Amino acid sequence: MSEVPQAIGWGEDGRCVHLLDQTLLPEHERKLEIRDADGMAEAITSLRVRGAPAIGIAGAMGMVLGMERLIEADPDADRATVLEEVSRLWTLLHDTRPTGRNLAWALDRVAHAVRTADEATAEALAGRARAEADAILQEDRQLCDRIGDAGLEVFAGGEPRVLTHCNAGALATGGIGTALAPIYKAHARGQRVQVLACETRPVLQGARLTAWELSRAGVPVTAITDSMAGDAMRRGRVDLVIVGADAVAANGDVVNKIGTYGLAVLANHHGIPFFVAMPYTTVDRSTSSGEEVPIELRSEGELRQLGGREILAADAAAWNPAFDVTPHRSVTAFITDQGVIRPPYGPRLAKLTEGHGPETGRFRGVGGAS
Amino acid sequence: MSEVPQAIGWGEDGRCVHLLDQTLLPEHERKLEIRDADGMAEAITSLRVRGAPAIGIAGAMGMVLGMERLIEADPDADRATVLEEVSRLWTLLHDTRPTGRNLAWALDRVAHAVRTADEATAEALAGRARAEADAILQEDRQLCDRIGDAGLEVFAGGEPRVLTHCNAGALATGGIGTALAPIYKAHARGQRVQVLACETRPVLQGARLTAWELSRAGVPVTAITDSMAGDAMRRGRVDLVIVGADAVAANGDVVNKIGTYGLAVLANHHGIPFFVAMPYTTVDRSTSSGEEVPIELRSEGELRQLGGREILAADAAAWNPAFDVTPHRSVTAFITDQGVIRPPYGPRLAKLTEGHGPETGRFRGVGGAS
């Protein structure tokens, strides 16, 4: 069965959320049935769902489940009781990944929809919550689709060979991903696209997730260690690079998974186009350049242990920045839901986000959302 | 106890070889006592000793152990019996890593010393073998020392921060290593040197071995994933790069552990000097450029499994070249046993190997010796 896997969605009866347990991939493909907010909180905390957009959607859906379970227990709950429960659910779900801005944003959006609703019955309020969570999911799917369509422009005819990093695919979003969206679109129209997936140490999202979802969808994919990217480029095995972004500053500097910057330098050196795919919501207008972004340092343990064994001497230190900054000059173009954007980036990224306040920046996950 | 660890050496009574079991590092520091050729063959096959020079030394010592055990069992063995045993030992030990040229070279050297000896008694012949194995070990130690002394030239005063890749240290040689030799020499003279060790996927020699031996010797070392090198350079955390080499072509192209090429491009981009440390024996005069060197493709399994778990979907492919080629133009200088060599490399590398036939290229390990 060749199809793009779906990270998250409503169950058939609408009473539960289906969640692909990403901690078990690629060994086991297990769909969890999440029935309440506690279950969703556990799933987010345990990284069963990850990727900034997908976490936001999961949080919103978790709040809906929580409200519906309240109503089952107390069908006559009044408005005040419902709003009190919404506050409790917000905290419960938010604290699962407290630094993920996208999660807070999605929870705020659902809570706001409930609080500002005219309806008085608990059932009607839950309906508003569900509608808002659905809207978040549908909007995310549409953004992914539009990025995919826009990205077709950068694939010349023939059989492009794309190198990517980390996982900016279906597993990280509600739809077909960001960096992987153009690949899925090209594949769907019958174009042969081959992908080189950097395994992406330390957490190996490229090997474990990107290679899995692409091969599941029937797209030929080959995993390499991150250190092999330069050699692959030198040998002429890469036509273009597409990566996602955790945040893009107003000047076009890109904050993304550690290793992205090195790939950009290597691509530039070899004359290989370097693309960044993202929805408009990734642009952080309040940040003028990438230098302003504080980079999360993650646990040394990710470099010290592997498969339960110590791989680093106790006396040796480890340095584990989660993200790096790629200067806008290294980016050939941005592939966005509103088309392909080429330099000068400042004014064009500003136009991309026009009509959206800086505080509406959706799904920006620098810090926590891997 | 701060001292440079020793990978291999004779036991106190001279009847066994002490070998640090590198498969257990860094979790356990266990010294094996190898007493016969079978034990040595097992140790080489199981990668308990690795690194081209160290494997050559291990093979030579294994042959000595085998001859001495023969004499213990049969003190009156005649010359023909001894030579027959030498042939058997050559095959036994050689077949442990059949593609490692350095191993064949060291075994040939001991066998040749025995076959061309005037002595007739078994004991005298074994003495010749032991003298030759000792010479191989001592020569390797001297080469390492000379590389270390030469390398001091590239350390400006102050506190240089060196980035290295894989393990070209004491654990790979009979002495203090190649790439790490200048670091140990600087440390010994009281200069503060800090090292960033790329972990070196897929086999993690940088994390498991380089970080261990440096911290064991009291040199401050910090491990990073290979993908972090570019970011470390961009942030100004690297003053110079020193790597080893598995082979250097006549024009100065460097064949070394996969990832070396990418580090060279990144170093060049940031204006950071990129040095290659090696003994004269690493130069392969019969190869005019790096493009001629066939690169060993290793097992996909190294990218598929980690700590006993599958990390790659069964339908996804993996590409696992063991080495890459760094063009001579990217090399700032070679640090050799005969001093620091700067461009033009062709004539200067030729001079380095003058008086040594191309077939004497020692310890060239492209293919097998990791």
Catalytic annotation on A246?
Answer: yes
Q: Which two tokens stand for residue A276?
A: 């960044």
Interface mutation target, options A225, A306, A325, chain B, most CBs of B under 10 Å: A225
E strand or H helix at A337: none
Does residue B223 sit at the A interface (CB-CB below 8 Å)?
A: yes
Alpha-carbon span A321 to B224, nearest angstrom: 9
DSSP string, B223-242: EE-GGGHHHHHHTT--SEEE
Give the ipTM of the model, two decimals please.
Answer: 0.92
Distances (CA, A) of B339 to B152, B277, B279, B297: 10, 10, 10, 33
**pLDDT, tens digit, for every residue of A262-287?**
999 999 999 999 999 999 989 988 99
Per the CB < 8 A criterion, the answer to whether B195 and B220 are in contact is yes
Does residue A162 sit at the B interface (CB-CB below 8 Å)?
A: no
Interface mutation target, options B227, B254, B306, B309, chain A, most CBs of A under 10 Å: B227
- Which residue among B227, B303, B320 places its CB closest to the CB of A262? B227
Classify burial at A319, counting beta carbons within 10 Å of its beta carbon; exposed 0-12, middle 13-18, buried 19 or more: middle
Residues sharing a CB contact under 8 Å with residue A330, sequence separation 6 or more, in sequence order: A261, A264, A265, A267, A268, A274
> pLDDT tens, position by position, for chain B (370 residues)?
579 999 999 998 889 999 999 999 999 999 999 999 999 999 999 999 999 899 999 999 999 999 999 999 999 999 999 999 999 999 999 999 876 678 999 999 999 999 999 988 999 999 999 999 999 999 999 999 999 999 999 997 789 999 999 999 999 999 999 999 999 999 999 999 999 999 999 999 999 999 999 999 999 999 999 999 999 999 999 999 999 998 999 999 999 999 999 999 999 999 999 999 999 989 988 999 998 888 888 899 999 998 888 999 999 999 999 999 999 999 999 999 999 999 999 999 999 998 775 444 433 334 444 4
Alpha-carbon span A47 to A364, nearest angstrom: 17
Task: With CB atoms and an 8 Å threshold, state whether B312 touches A211.
Answer: yes
Helix/strand/coil for B160:
coil
Alpha-carbon span A151 to A246, nearest angstrom: 18
Distance from CA of B104 to the nearest CA of A (A): 29
Distances (CA, A) of A291 to A100, A287, A294, A302: 20, 9, 8, 25
Q: How many helices (H) and strands (E) does chain A have?
A: 12, 17
**pLDDT, tens digit, for every residue of A100-125?**
678 999 999 999 999 999 988 999 99
Q: Which of these, B47, B363, B43, B33, lies nearest to B205 by C-alpha position?
A: B47
Task: With CB atoms and an 8 Å threshold, state whether A231 touches B324.
Answer: yes
Which residue out of B140, B246, B284, B337 is catalytically annotated? B246
Q: Which of these, B322, B256, B169, B137, lies nearest to A313 by C-alpha position?
A: B169
Q: Which of these, B137, B144, B153, lies nearest to B61 by C-alpha position?
A: B137
Per the CB < 8 A criterion, the answer to whether B44 and B59 are in contact is yes
Q: Which two tokens stand for residue A285?
A: 């207008």
First to last CA, chain B: 28
Does residue B278 sit at the A interface (CB-CB below 8 Å)?
A: no
